[in-house]
Structure formats: C-alpha cells, structure tokens
Amino acid sequence: MNVIITGASKGIGKAIAEEFAAAGHALYLCSRSEKQLYDTVAILQTQYPQCTVKANTADMAVKKEAQKFGEWVLNSCVPDIVVNNAGQFLQGSVHDEDDGILEKMIHVNLYSAYHLTRMFLPAMVSAKKGHIFNICSIASLQAYKYGGSYSISKFALLGFSKNLRDEMKPHGIKVTAVCPGATMSASWDGVEVPANRIMEAKDVAKMIFAASQLSPTADVEDIVMRPQLGDL
C-alpha cells in the first residue's frame, strides 16, 4: 500500500511511519525540518529494507506547499492511506492569548489536512478505495484549561473528519478521526511528566495500523485514547 504521512519526522508521525515500514509498505513522508525528515528516512531504510521510503520537505500550514507535496505524491502513486498528522500545540486562553494564534492554529491543524486531502480525493474516488486518518486530539472532544485556539482548531478538525466521512461513504473511502490524550511528542518538550501518566507514540501508531487492516466493509470511525490513569 502507498501510505502518506505528514509531520513524519518525530513523535506520533514517526511512530506511524515505523509501524507501516515494518509491514513493508511504500511510504511518502513530509515534515518542515529537512534534517529531521531525512534522518528519519535513513533510519527507516536501515531498519526496514523491505519498504520504500520517499520524502519531501513541506510546511503544511502553507496552502501552496501542501498542494505541491500532494502533486509530488500523485506523480508517483494513488494514495491508499493518508495520515494527516502535521500539527502544533500552542498553549493559551481565548481571552488573553496573543493576536494571531487562532489563525496559526487553524492553518497548521486544520487547513493542512483540508488542502492535502482535497488534492488526493479525485484519484482516491476514481480508485473507489482508501483510508484517511486525521490526527485530532482529546481537545477535539472537550474544552480544557489553556486549550484556547489549539482546542478550537482540533474541534474543527474533528468536524472536518465527520463531514468528509459522510461524503466519502458512497465512494468506498474510510475516514477515521484519531483523538489521543497525552502522548509523548514535541508538544510535551520541557514538561516534566511521570512516565506512567503519558502514552507512548507507538501506542497511537499501533491503533492506526490495526484500523487500516480491516475489511472494506468495516470502518473504525473514531479512535479515542487516554493514559490509563486518565487525562493530565
């Protein structure tokens, strides 16, 4: 299968890439950081020589870059699995966060998935198959302190997932919204968290891989995961 993963150089995105690479799939990866991206490619090719890994740098928050990455993928394949993982967390509260934070969160966490997915849909609809995973968040389901514009953008991504799922049902394309709680990723850099209070990125990756292996008649619509001891 041809697997497209955005934000694939670290954290959840990298763990997802490792899961599909281990199964021998063809990967098409992107990230803003060229060094981190190609370091990840080198690791995957060394550990999983049976898979094909291609990569291209892109800032998915920029519409033209998202579309350019989509064109680059389509020049090689029709996507079977698309994982819209690119995203960013900026702490804040609606009443006092810096001006422009909402726009930034919407561009990074919503528009990135929207514009890339729209690039792929015509080819996927023609193929009458495919599976789109949108990496949402527990913050897509409930408000929480200091969620601010990040939570707003993730609520919107969940809404996008629900609308897209309904539209794509007649075309044989599945859409899964993935809502992880606290997961070891760049969002938690510099924060002291006990190991038993946070999930590992590979936990999320394993659930996504499992959902991708079901028969065409079964769709895991939502994946909700939390640390065993509850939300932080």
Stronger pLDDT, 8 or 184, i.e. the higher one: 8
Q: Quick check: is 165 in a domain? A: yes
Give pLDDT, residue 190.
65
Give the CATH number, domain containing residue 97: 3.40.50.720
Give pLDDT, residue 49.
95
Give pLDDT, residue 211.
98
Q: Quick check: is 232 in a domain? A: no
The three-state DSSP-derived secondary structure of 161-220 is HHHHHHHHHHHCEEEEEEEECCECCHHHCCCCCCHHHCECHHHHHHHHHHHHCCCCCCCC
Burial class (CB in 10 A: 0-12, 13-18, 19+), 96: exposed
pLDDT at 10 over 90: yes
Q: What is the C-alpha to C-alpha distance for residues 195 and 193, in angstroms, rounded to an integer?
A: 6
- Encode pLDDT of 16-74 as tens digits: 999 999 999 999 999 999 999 999 999 999 999 999 999 999 999 999 999 999 999 99
Three-state SS at 140: helix
| Mode of pairing for the β-strands spanning 81-84 and 222-225 | unpaired
- Encode pLDDT of 190-227 as tens digits: 667 787 889 999 999 999 999 999 999 999 999 999 99
Domain that holds residue 49: 2-225
* Nearest partner of 116 among 67, 156, 160, judged by Cα: 67
Give pLDDT, residue 27.
98
- Encode pLDDT of 72-118 as tens digits: 999 999 999 999 999 999 989 999 999 999 999 999 999 999 999 99
User: Sign of dihedral through CA atoms 25, 26, 28, 34?
Assistant: positive
DSSP 136: -
- Give alpha helix (H) positions in the chain: 11-22, 34-47, 63-74, 101-106, 112-127, 148-168, 201-212
Q: Could you tell me the two tokens for 48? A: 């999983």
Give pLDDT, residue 187.
64
CA R_g for the chain: 17
- Encode pLDDT of 75-85 as tens digits: 999 999 999 99
Q: What is the C-alpha to C-alpha distance for residues 101 and 98, in angstroms, rounded to an integer?
A: 6
Q: Quick check: is 121 in a domain? A: yes
Q: What is the C-alpha to C-alpha distance for residues 100 and 114, in angstroms, rounded to an integer?
A: 20
Q: Quick check: is 33 in a domain? A: yes
Give pLDDT, residue 195.
79
Q: Quick check: is 231 in a domain? A: no
Q: Quick check: is 200 in a domain? A: yes
Neighbours of 103 (CB within 10 A): 13
Q: How many domains does the chain have?
A: 1
Q: Quick check: is 230 in a domain? A: no
Three-state SS at 56: strand
Q: Quick check: is 20 in a domain? A: yes
* Nearest partner of 184 among 12, 32, 17, judged by Cα: 12
Q: What is the C-alpha to C-alpha distance for residues 217 and 215, in angstroms, rounded to an integer?
A: 5
